Each structure stands twice: as C-alpha cells, then as structure tokens.
C-alpha cells in the first residue's frame, strides 16, 4: 500500500492529488472555493434572472409560463451532474480509501436532493397550465423521482451506521449502483414515448431563441456556482466534525 502511494507521488498529477487528499490541506482551499462560489452565484443569478424575466421574449405557444425553464432546466441538469460527482467520489473513496473522498460525496448529496425537488416541483407547476396535469408517470418524470429517492436512501444509509467508516462504504455502493439511473433519465425522452418534450439543447444545437438560451445558460452557471459553494461549505463542516481534536484544526478554525 505504502509503496503504491510512493509511486503515485513520483508523478506530478499524483503528487498534487495526494497533497489535497489530506483534509488539513484541503480545508483552507475549500474555504476559498466556497467564497468565490457564493460571489459568482449571486452575480450570475442576478444577470440570469434579469435576462430571463425582462429581456427574453414571451414564448409563442406557452406565453409567460415558459419562464419556469430558467429555474427548472438548471436544477434538473444539476441533480444529474451532482449524482455523477457523488458516485465518482464514492468510488474514489472505495478504491483509494481516502477519507476526504467520502466526505466530498456526503457533502454533495443534500444539494443534489434539493435540486431534484426543485426540478420536480417547478416542472409540476409548469405542467398544470401547459399539459393540463400536475403529474404523470412517464419515463422522464418517474426516473427523476427515483433519483430523488436514491439521494434520500444514500443519506439515510450513511447516517444509519454508528461506525462512520462502515456507513461510508455501504452508502458508496448506493451511490455507484444508482448512477445507472442518470443516463436513463437523460435518454428517457429519446428511448420511449413520454409526455415530457425532448431536449431543446443538445451538444452543438438548440431549438430555442438566442436570448432565452443565453438566460438559461447563465442561470445554469449560477446554479453550478451555488452547488459548488454549498458543497464546499458542507465539506468544511464535515472536516471539522470528523477531524475534531486534530492539532491542525485548532489553528485553522481560530
């Protein structure tokens, strides 16, 4: 084991990774990332919401109700991206046995669950006037609801163990197994007939008016910044909780 770490340390990228894998080293860096994240989130959300509500034109068929996409679409994207990140860090934790990877995974879960709720809730409010119903059991909506349950299951399982290490490993398996659901959500509108419309934005093309698209993309960056900041904040709390009593912590939190 020690020999492998030594070998990794010989490579430049490996050395960088291992240095910041130590909670003591990442704690101050996480603080900096968190601050930048909050500032970016506020500034981008202000620009994005202004563009979305005052610059972007009314939609030809839906009228004003379409403006929910400036919240709905970024939230739906984030809940999928965060789950993949969570699964990635859970897998990294299982393979390398790094404590910080598990903490990262735990720090992401609540934000991902919130994003799933926001996506489902705003979608439901949009569905009533547009489709004529708050809820249907089509593939896209059902698989997103399952993703929300996976987040909740992950958090519940990791909290159910008194031994944090056992909780880390057990919940990491849920995170990895559940990751299969993310491509299912993404491609559901393509593979099956659904009430939910197909993707308006695909790599390289979009079927939206330019200002609408820009407002939505700026809002997406705002959501990214918010999620990163929230995860970093939760990560720092986790580090303080788990490393309580460590000598470096007294100096870092003073």
Partner 1 sequence: MTTKQKRLALILGGMGVLAAAVALVLTAFNQNLVFFFTPTQITSKEAPIGRVFRLGGMVETGSVKREGVNVSFRVTDTAQIVPVTYSGILPDLFKEGKGVVAQGTLGDDGVFRAKEVLAKHDENYMPPEAATAVERATKAREMASKTLKQ
Taking the complex as a whole, how short is the minimal distance between the CB of residue 175 and partner 1, in angstroms? 11
Which spans of this chain sit near partner 1 (rule: CB under 8 A)? 1, 4, 57-62, 66, 69, 91, 94-96, 129-133, 136, 138-139, 176-177, 179-180, 184, 191-195, 197-200, 207-209, 212
Total residue length of the chain:
254
Neighbours of 46 (CB within 10 A): 12
Nearer to partner 1, 57 or 203 (CB): 57
Nearer to partner 1, 124 or 130 (CB): 130
Taking the complex as a whole, how short is the minimal distance between the CB of residue 159 and partner 1, in angstroms? 23
Question: How far is the CA of 10 from the CAs of 3, 5, 6, 14, 15, in angstroms?
Answer: 11, 9, 7, 7, 7
Nearer to partner 1, 103 or 172 (CB): 172
Q: Which of 84, 7, 23, 11 is nearest to 236 (CA)?
A: 23
Taking the complex as a whole, how short is the minimal distance between the CB of residue 188 and partner 1, in angstroms? 8
Taking the complex as a whole, how short is the minimal distance between the CB of residue 80 and partner 1, in angstroms? 16
Nearer to partner 1, 109 or 139 (CB): 139
Query: Which are the contacts of 245, defined by CB distance < 8 A and separation ≥ 6?
Result: none
Count how many Cα atoms sit within 13 Å of the Cα of residue 236 in the half-sphere of its side chain: 16
């Amino acid at each position: 084991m020690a020999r492998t770490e030594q070998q990794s340390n010989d490579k430049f990228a490996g050395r960088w990774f291992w240095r910041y894998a130590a909670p003591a080293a990442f704690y101050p860096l996480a603080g900096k990332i968190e601050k930048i994240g909050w500032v970016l989130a506020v500034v981008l959300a202000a620009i994005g919401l202004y563009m979305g509500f005052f610059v972007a034109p009314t939609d030809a068929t839906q009228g004003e109700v379409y403006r929910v996409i400036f919240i709905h679409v970024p939230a739906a994207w984030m809940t999928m991206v965060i789950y993949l990140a969570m699964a990635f860090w859970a897998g990294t934790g299982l393979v390398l046995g790094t404590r910080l990877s598990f903490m990262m995974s735990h720090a992401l879960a609540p934000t991902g669950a919130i994003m799933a709720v926001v996506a489902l809730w705003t979608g439901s409010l949009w569905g009533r006037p547009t489709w004529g119903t708050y809820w249907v059991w089509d593939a896209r909506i059902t698989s997103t609801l399952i993703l929300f349950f996976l987040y909740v299951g992950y958090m519940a399982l990791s909290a159910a163990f008194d031994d944090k290490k056992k909780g880390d490993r057990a919940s990491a398996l849920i995170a990895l197994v559940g990751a299969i659901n993310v491509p299912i959500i993404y491609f559901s509108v393509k593979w099956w007939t659904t009430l939910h419309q197909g993707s308006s934005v695909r790599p390289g093309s979009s079927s939206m008016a330019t200002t609408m698209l820009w407002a939505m993309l700026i809002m997406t960056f705002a959501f990214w910044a918010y999620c990163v900041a929230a995860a970093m904040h939760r990560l720092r709390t986790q580090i303080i909780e788990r490393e309580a009593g460590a000598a470096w912590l007294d100096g870092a939190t003073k």
